[in-house]
Amino acid sequence: MSLVHGLAGPEDLFSKLERERQAIESAVKTNSDVQLSDAIFNFSVSAYHLRDWIAALNLVPPQDLLSLFATHQELQACRDIANSAKHFQIERYSPTTQDVYVSATAASYVPGIGGRVKIRMLDGRKFEVCDWADTSIGAWRAFMTEHKILK
């Protein structure tokens, strides 16, 4: 018995992740701060928990998943955003993400959002939200293809 309608395996969750990427872009285009907040949260939870689905099914060696997250700061940000939203505060590990913020310049000002939404890592590296989502999806696609989870 499944409690998740329509999601039978990692391939389905990956497809959901791609749909959530489109929701991020839609929220940016429509200048909806509430929709963007929801989309970033949903994307982060799916991107992080895809790891759990793959691990639970023993589809790859655990070290390969650890290496994937160690290599991609974007996926670390997904982990941190998902965990901070779920637990309010991260206490079980040291996060690598500093914050999600709006950078406002005259050229990038967006009514309703105020500017470009970015994710800032503790080391100072910054990702615009759509680029962060694209890179996260790309990392998962390459990993899942390499491990023959995606066809």
In a domain, 138, yes or no: yes
pLDDT tens profile 97-149: 988 888 765 455 455 555 688 999 999 999 999 999 999 999 999 999 999 99
CB 41 within 8 A of CB 86: no
Is the pLDDT score of 2 beyond 80? no
Describe the crossing of helices 33-56 and 10-30 by its angle, rounded to 10 degrees: 170
In a domain, 19, yes or no: yes
In a domain, 151, yes or no: no
Describe the crossing of helices 33-56 and 129-146 by its angle, rounded to 10 degrees: 20
pLDDT tens profile 19-66: 999 999 998 888 788 899 999 999 999 999 999 999 999 999 999 999
Output the pTM of the full model.
0.88
Residue that wins the pLDDT comparison between 112 and 93: 93
In a domain, 47, yes or no: yes
Domain boundaries, position 44:
10-93+129-146
pLDDT at res. 115: 60
Give how far Cα 87 sits from Cα of 80, 83, 109, Å.
Answer: 10, 6, 32
In a domain, 136, yes or no: yes
In a domain, 87, yes or no: yes
In a domain, 76, yes or no: yes
In a domain, 137, yes or no: yes
Considering its fold, how many domains does the chain have in total? Answer: 1
